[in-house]
């Protein structure tokens, strides 16, 4: 789960990591009065979950309260990569002498907590890593601590300044503490700045929380911003479904994440465009099928739906009951292609006999039928 910069910085502040003084505004007037109270240069920063805010014009410096209000007016309501800006963070400006990068994340290959630091801060770290990997410093821990001896050279390398290095060692320890306490999958400071007066400050902050740990992080779960999520994705989560919206026109209902991805891929390979990823999960609860139908059909682009089930724990007859119930309870105006295989498939198919559903016996046949039913054209080379 992603949280906003202002929320991440509140966590930083609580952990003792220095951040600029700032407040959230939802209107130009509010931004003006925050800037007035600071009485100095301020930064006005869009609060959205996507990256690339700066490039999109979502981060501006204001010398006067009027300018802060004007920037806030421009930034609020702005669309950045599909997210609408609803809040801006108005922060006391910092006197930046140097910028660096500091982050903690999980390294899948070494199965360890990874500290990433670079003197090349403030820009796209992936690009730095790709072009000049020698500029990226890394430390790993599986015990949840770094020794001062390990940290010292890394801290020194960032600004090449002993005073700053001591502060960085302390900040790193606190960032790691926060990472562990918050069950974070990412805690990032980019840029970490050295000010003209020699202070090290987290000028930006990003914290992502491990979805699997939210059950024990109620305070963080409360930071979830529903405005940043597709409504269907929120509804799916509440119903225990896994759903991701895409931009095609063929709805998919599948059991299992891997098979759901394979189904999307197959639709594309055969010349169609999948409208969503949807995993109904391992249970056979007919209610889940009804909920899945509602979510899929709430997308106006949908021209046909493919239900692809490989019964293991999931019983195909239960899925069939859910499909029939869906047809009774909601209006389904688009063609639905069904392919049931595995546990109780014959029973499931028998239940669906006589309905308006289009049956398919193999994965490939189902994909061909759903593309044709959607009015699309099956790629010539796949017709064999």
Partner 1 sequence: MSILIDQSTKVLVQGITGRDGSFHTRQMLDYGTQVVGGVTPGKGGQVAHGVPVFNTVQEAVEATGANATVIYVPAKFASAAILEAAEAEIPLIVAITEGIPVLDMMKAYHMVRAKGLRLIGPNCPGLISPGKAKIGIMPGSIHRPGPVGVISRSGTLTYEIVHALTGLGIGQSTCVGIGGDPIVGSQFMDLLPLFEADPETQAMVVVGEIGGDEEERTAAFIKEHIRKPVFAFIVGHTAPEGKRMGHAGAIVSGNSGTAASKLQAFSLAGVPVANTIDELAEITRQGLSLLS
Question: Which part of the chain contacts partner 1 (CB under 8 A), choosing from 10-18, 37-45, 291-299, 306-314?
Answer: 306-314
Member of 22, 121, 191, 311 binding partner 1 (CB under 8 A): 311
Stretch that binds partner 1, among 63-71, 145-153, 289-297, 309-317 (CB under 8 A): 309-317
> Of 12-20, 259-267, 324-332, 372-380, which segment contacts partner 1 by CB under 8 A?
259-267
- When binding is defined by CB under 8 A, the residue of 11, 264, 297, 368 that contacts partner 1 is 264
* Closer Cβ to partner 1, 38 or 277, answer by number: 277
Which positions ≥6 away from 276 have C-beta within 8 Å?
A: 232, 243, 244, 245, 246, 248, 251, 252, 296, 299
* Residue 220 CA, distance from chain mean position: 15
**108 belongs to the binding site for partner 1 (CB under 8 A):** yes
Nearest CB to partner 1, comparing residues 89 and 113: 113
Question: Taking contact as CB under 8 A, which single stretch among the options 3-11, 220-228, 251-259, 296-304 is the one that binds partner 1?
Answer: 251-259
Question: Is residue 274 near partner 1 by the rule CB under 8 A?
Answer: yes
x/- letters, 205..244, toward partner 1 (CB under 8 A): -----xxxx-xx-------------------------x-x
Among 153, 163, 312, 375, binds partner 1 (CB under 8 A): 312
Nearer of residues 195 and 208 to partner 1, judged by Cβ: 208
State the Cα–Cα distance between residues 338 and 146, nearest whole angstrom.
54
Q: Catalytic amino acids?
A: 101, 188
Q: Is 261 in the site for partner 1 (CB under 8 A)?
A: yes
**Cβ proximity to partner 1, 61 vs 257, nearer residue:** 257
Stretch 126-145 residues interacting with partner 1 (CB under 8 A): 126, 130, 142
Peptide bond into 191 cis (omega under 30): yes
Residues making contact with partner 1 (CB under 8 A)? 106, 108-109, 111-113, 126, 130, 142, 180, 183, 185, 210-213, 215-216, 242, 244, 246, 254-262, 264-269, 274, 277, 279, 282, 310-314, 341-343, 363-364
């Amino acid at each position: 789960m992603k949280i906003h910069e202002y929320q991440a910085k509140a966590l930083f502040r609580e952990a003792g990591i220095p951040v600029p003084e700032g407040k959230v505004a939802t209107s130009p007037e509010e931004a003006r009065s925050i800037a007035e109270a600071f009485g100095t240069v301020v930064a006005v920063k869009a609060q959205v979950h996507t990256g690339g805010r700066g490039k999109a014009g979502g981060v501006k410096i204001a010398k006067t309260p009027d300018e802060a209000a004007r920037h806030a007016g421009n930034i609020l309501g702005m669309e950045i990569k599909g997210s609408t800006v609803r809040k801006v963070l108005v922060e006391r400006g910092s006197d930046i002498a140097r910028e660096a990068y500091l982050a903690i994340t999980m390294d899948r290959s070494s199965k360890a907590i990874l500290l990433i630091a670079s003197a090349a801060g403030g820009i796209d770290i992936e690009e730095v890593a790709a072009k000049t990997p020698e500029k990226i410093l890394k430390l790993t821990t599986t015990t949840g601590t770094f020794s001062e001896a390990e940290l010292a050279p890394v801290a020194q390398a960032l600004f090449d300044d002993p005073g700053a290095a001591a502060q960085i060692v302390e900040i790193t320890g606190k960032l790691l503490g926060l990472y562990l306490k918050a069950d974070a999958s990412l805690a990032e400071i980019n840029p970490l700045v050295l000010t003209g007066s020699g202070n090290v400050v987290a000028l930006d902050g990003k914290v992502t929380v491990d979805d699997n740990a939210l059950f024990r992080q109620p305070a963080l779960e409360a930071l979830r911003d529903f405005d940043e999520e597709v409504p269907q994705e929120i509804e799916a989560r509440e119903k225990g479904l896994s759903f991701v919206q895409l931009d095609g026109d063929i709805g998919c209902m599948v059991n299992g994440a891997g098979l759901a991805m394979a189904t999307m891929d197959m639709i594309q390979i055969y010349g169609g465009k999948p409208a969503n990823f949807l995993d109904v999960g391992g249970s056979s609860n007919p209610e889940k099928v009804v909920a899945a139908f509602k979510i899929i059909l709430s997308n106006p682009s949908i021209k046909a739906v493919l239900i692809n089930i490989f019964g293991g724990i999931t019983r195909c007859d239960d899925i069939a009951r859910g499909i029939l119930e869906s047809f009774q309870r909601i209006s389904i105006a688009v063609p639905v292609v069904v392919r049931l295989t595995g546990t109780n498939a014959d029973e499931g198919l028998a239940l669906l006999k006589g309905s308006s559903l289009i049956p398919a016996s193999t994965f490939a046949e189902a994909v061909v039928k759903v593309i044709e039913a959607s009015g699309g054209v099956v790629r010539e080379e796949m017709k064999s």
